[in-house]
């Protein structure tokens, strides 16, 4: 058990300090870099907060696509490997056209959900601008 | 430039120009040119006049590039484009012999931009090569409001549309470019295969991009006349001065191909930017480009074919952005900017899903 605050809140605090206290004293060239660093921190912050839930949802969707039972409760370290292997299978099936007819609609929904999930972490503003979120 | 190369250049130029010349200075130019580009000032040894300002391009395109032209081929393209009335630096001389400068090179006039150069450049009196304002990050979307990138101005977009239309008048029968290899009809398939290999090489499965490639394979344009394409029309190296396009500089990616490809490249570059830039600004630039293109072109524009190539261009950017992310992870290039570009591939993917849906729908309705 880690001591509080959790990592994502620590990052949020650091970003707040960076933008509020450090940024105003910098030259325009440095300002751009600091804003980029703050952007990176913000992405990491959202990922630390949301990625476990997002991965579980993706595993469930992929299992549904293949009419299979969702994998049993996995340790966090196993989730990434399981997702990678299911997505590798999905890539193979898309490439060979195995899903072109029978499951095209479901596949399209899974792909959209994968993208939305990544956008929620990497770029929520773009998500909103695209009419989602 | 090394002294030996300068001497080789002086000897060769003197022979070609029929007067003894001295290279007063040779300055390597930066920018996005994929091969060495130099600005050289030469004078007549006898009377010291007139000064000639030349642009010299030599060497092969950057290592790792896929299909760049050789200097000999690029010079042929430049001549063809110049004859078609496209705004290019006037092609002057070609040296396909490696002896004078260690590698083949060609020489063109040097086009100056003066009015819109930054204050430091004006003060130093330097000639500045500028890029059109829609220039984007390599492989990714610019973040206009936060990082100072701009959308294409409609005026420049219209001028660009006019020049691309003029370029597309050049067909494989043209005198200067007849020798260039014909691109096979299924070139887009080969390109998709290359994307697949690059993605497979990264090791992270990308189902969305795989689906996009599948849709491209199923909805490829057919029966389109091959013309001379710029090959990087969304990201051209140009000289722009006070809102006027003066010259298109880099032609190393030119090839025979579907004219819709160049238009799709421009449209992909104009794609909507992150939220603070309204879609209407990008749409205005696209409309201006297309209007000018149609006004100066003999070809019909099929908007579904344009969409196909727009998707292809965005796909290419997505693949490149993922590669940048992998370079960051492997420690090859520690750049937060590149890492962020990789994380924002999802932005391209959401657009790609929407565009490929339209592509499939258009094919179904055809």
Q: How far is CA B54 from the centre of its chain?
A: 21
**Digit-coded pLDDT (tens) for B161-186:** 999 999 999 988 876 676 666 666 66
The alpha-carbon gap from B345 to the nearest alpha carbon of chain A, in Å, equals: 9
ipTM here:
0.89
B41 vs A76: which has the higher pLDDT: B41
Q: Which CATH architecture has domain B3-112?
A: 2-Layer Sandwich (3.30)
Highest mean pLDDT among B26-40, B76-90, B149-163: B76-90
Q: Which helix (H) or strand (E) element contains residue B44?
A: strand B36-44
Structure letter (DSSP) for residue B230: -
Side by side, the strands of the sheet bearing B105-109 are: B21-28, B36-44, B52-58, B105-109, B91-95
Are A94 and B343 inside 8 Å of each other by CB? no
Are B207 and A91 inside 8 Å of each other by CB? yes
Q: Identify whether A108 is part of a domain.
A: yes
Tell me, yes or no, if B202 comes closer than 8 A to chain A by beta carbon.
no
Q: How many CB pairs lie under 8 A apart between chains A and B? A: 88
- What backbone torsions phi and psi does residue B60 show, to the nearest 5 degrees? -90, 165
Task: Name the residue with tokens 């689906």.
Answer: B211
Q: CA–CA separation, B214 vs B220, rounded Å?
A: 10
The alpha-carbon gap from A51 to the nearest alpha carbon of chain B, in Å, equals: 14
Neighbours of A61 (CB within 10 A): 18
Asked whether B332 and B132 are in contact (CB, 8 A), the reply is no
Q: CA–CA separation, B295 vs B268, rounded Å?
A: 21
Q: Per-residue pLDDT averaged across B39-48, rounded?
A: 84
Q: Mark out chain A residues that contact chain B at CB-CB < 8 A.
A: 32-33, 35-37, 39-40, 43, 84, 87-88, 90-91, 94-95, 97, 100, 107-108, 110-112, 114-116, 118-119, 122-123, 125-130, 132
The answer to whether domain B3-112 and domain B144-365 are alike in fold is: no
- Note if the pTM is more than 0.95: no
Asked whether B142 and B133 are in contact (CB, 8 A), the reply is no
Phi-psi region of B355 (alpha: psi -120 to 50; beta: other; left: phi over 0): alpha
Spatial CB neighbours of B337, under 8 Å, sequence gap ≥ 6:
A36, B137
Q: CA–CA separation, B149 vs B300, rounded Å?
A: 32
pLDDT at B150 over 80: no
Q: Identify whether A2 is part of a domain.
A: no
Q: Where are the domains of chain B?
A: 3-112, 144-365
Using pLDDT thresholds of 50, 70 and 90, give the confidence band for residue B193: very high
Q: Per-residue pLDDT averaged across A82-93, rounded?
A: 95
Give me the percent of chain B exceeding a pLDDT of 70: 78
Spatial CB neighbours of B244, under 8 Å, sequence gap ≥ 6:
B159
The alpha-carbon gap from A31 to the nearest alpha carbon of chain B, in Å, equals: 10
A32 to chain B: closest CA residue: B147
Q: Identify whether A1 is part of a domain.
A: no
Closest CA to B132 of B147, B151, B146: B151
B338: its two tokens: 């590149």
Are B346 and A88 inside 8 Å of each other by CB? no
Are A126 and B344 inside 8 Å of each other by CB? yes
Q: CA–CA separation, B61 vs B55, rounded Å?
A: 17
pLDDT at A34 over 90: no
Tell me, yes or no, if B343 comes closer than 8 A to chain A by beta carbon.
yes
Range of the domain at A84: 7-129
pLDDT at B308 over 70: yes
Q: Identify whether A125 is part of a domain.
A: yes
Highest mean pLDDT among B16-20, B66-70, B275-279, B317-321: B317-321
Q: What is the pLDDT of residue B213?
A: 97
Asked whether B344 and A43 are in contact (CB, 8 A), the reply is no
R_g (Cα) of chain A, nearest Å: 19
A81 to chain B: closest CA residue: B204
Instruction: Determine the residue among B207, B216, B278 to mutate to test chain A binding: the one whose Cβ has the most chain A Cβ atoms within 10 Å.
Output: B207
Class of domain B144-365: alpha beta
Chain B residues near residue A87 by CB distance under 8 angstroms: 205-207
- What backbone torsions phi and psi does residue B244 show, to the nearest 5 degrees? -110, 130
Task: Name the residue with tokens 């193979």.
Answer: A92
Q: What is the pLDDT of residue B183?
A: 60
Tally the residues of chain B.
366
Chain A residues near residue B356 by CB distance under 8 angstroms: none
> In the predicted model, what is the mean pLDDT of chain B?
79
Tell me, yes or no, if B298 comes closer than 8 A to chain A by beta carbon.
no
Q: What is the pLDDT of residue B66?
A: 59
Q: Identify whether A105 is part of a domain.
A: yes
Instruction: Determine the residue among B275, B277, B346 to mutate to test chain A binding: the one whose Cβ has the most chain A Cβ atoms within 10 Å.
Output: B346
Asked whether B272 and A129 are in contact (CB, 8 A), the reply is yes
Q: Identify whether A49 is part of a domain.
A: yes
Using pLDDT thresholds of 50, 70 and 90, give the confidence band for residue A123: confident
- What backbone torsions phi and psi does residue B211 show, to the nearest 5 degrees? -65, -40
Q: What is the pLDDT of residue B207?
A: 97
Q: Per-residue pLDDT averaged across B101-111, rounded?
A: 88
Facing residue for B275 by CB, picked from A36, A100, A129: A129
Q: Identify whether A25 is part of a domain.
A: yes
Q: What is the pLDDT of residue A66?
A: 93
Give start and end residues of each alpha helix (H) in chain A: 7-17, 28-65, 76-96, 104-122, 124-129
A80 vs B85: which has the higher pLDDT: B85
């Amino acid at each position: 058990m880690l001591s509080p605050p959790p990592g994502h809140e620590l990052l949020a605090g650091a970003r707040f300090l960076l933008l509020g206290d450090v940024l105003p004293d910098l030259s325009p060239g440095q300002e751009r870099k600091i804003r980029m660093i703050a952007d990176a921190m913000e992405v990491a912050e959202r990922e630390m907060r949301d990625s476990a839930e997002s991965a579980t949802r993706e595993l469930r969707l992929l299992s549904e696509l293949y009419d299979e039972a969702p994998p049993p409760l996995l340790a966090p370290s196993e989730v990434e490997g399981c997702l990678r292997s299911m997505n590798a299978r999905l890539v193979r099936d898309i490439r060979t056209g195995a899903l072109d007819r029978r499951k095209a609609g479901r596949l399209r929904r899974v792909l959209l959900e994968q993208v939305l999930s990544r956008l929620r972490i990497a770029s929520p503003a773009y998500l909103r601008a695209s009419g989602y979120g | 430039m090394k002294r030996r190369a300068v001497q080789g250049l002086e000897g060769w130029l003197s022979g070609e120009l029929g007067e003894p010349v001295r290279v007063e200075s040779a300055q390597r130019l930066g920018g996005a040119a994929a091969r060495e580009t130099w600005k050289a000032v030469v004078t007549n040894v006898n009377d010291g006049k007139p000064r000639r300002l030349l642009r010299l391009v030599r060497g092969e395109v950057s290592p790792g590039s896929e299909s760049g032209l050789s200097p000999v081929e690029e010079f042929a393209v430049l001549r063809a484009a110049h004859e078609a009335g496209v705004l290019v630096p006037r092609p002057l001389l070609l040296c396909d012999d490696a002896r004078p400068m260690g590698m083949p090179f060609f020489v063109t006039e040097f086009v100056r931009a003066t009015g819109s150069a930054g204050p430091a450049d004006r003060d130093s009196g330097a000639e500045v090569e500028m890029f059109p304002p829609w220039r984007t990050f390599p492989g990714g979307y610019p973040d206009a409001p936060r990082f100072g990138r701009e959308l294409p101005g409609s005026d420049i977009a219209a001028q660009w549309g006019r020049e691309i239309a003029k370029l597309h008048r050049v067909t494989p029968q043209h005198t200067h470019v007849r020798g260039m290899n014909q691109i096979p009809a299924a070139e887009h398939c080969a390109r998709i295969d290359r994307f697949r290999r690059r993605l497979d090489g990264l090791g992270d499965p990308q189902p969305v991009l795989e689906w996009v490639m599948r849709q491209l394979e199923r909805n490829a344009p057919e029966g389109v006349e091959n013309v001379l394409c710029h090959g990087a029309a969304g990201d051209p190296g140009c000289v722009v001065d006070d809102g006027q396009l003066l010259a298109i500089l880099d032609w190393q990616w030119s090839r025979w191909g579907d004219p819709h490809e160049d238009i799709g490249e421009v449209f992909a570059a104009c794609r909507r930017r992150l939220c603070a830039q309204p879609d209407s600004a990008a749409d205005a630039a696209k409309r201006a480009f297309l209007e000018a293109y149609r006004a100066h072109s003999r070809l019909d524009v099929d908007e579904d074919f344009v969409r196909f190539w727009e998707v292809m261009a965005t796909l290419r950017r997505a693949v490149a952005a993922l590669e940048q992310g992998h370079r960051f992870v492997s420690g090859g290039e520690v750049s937060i900017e590149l890492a962020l570009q990789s994380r924002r591939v999802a932005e391209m993917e959401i657009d790609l899903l929407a565009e490929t849906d339209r592509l499939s729908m258009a094919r179904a309705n055809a």
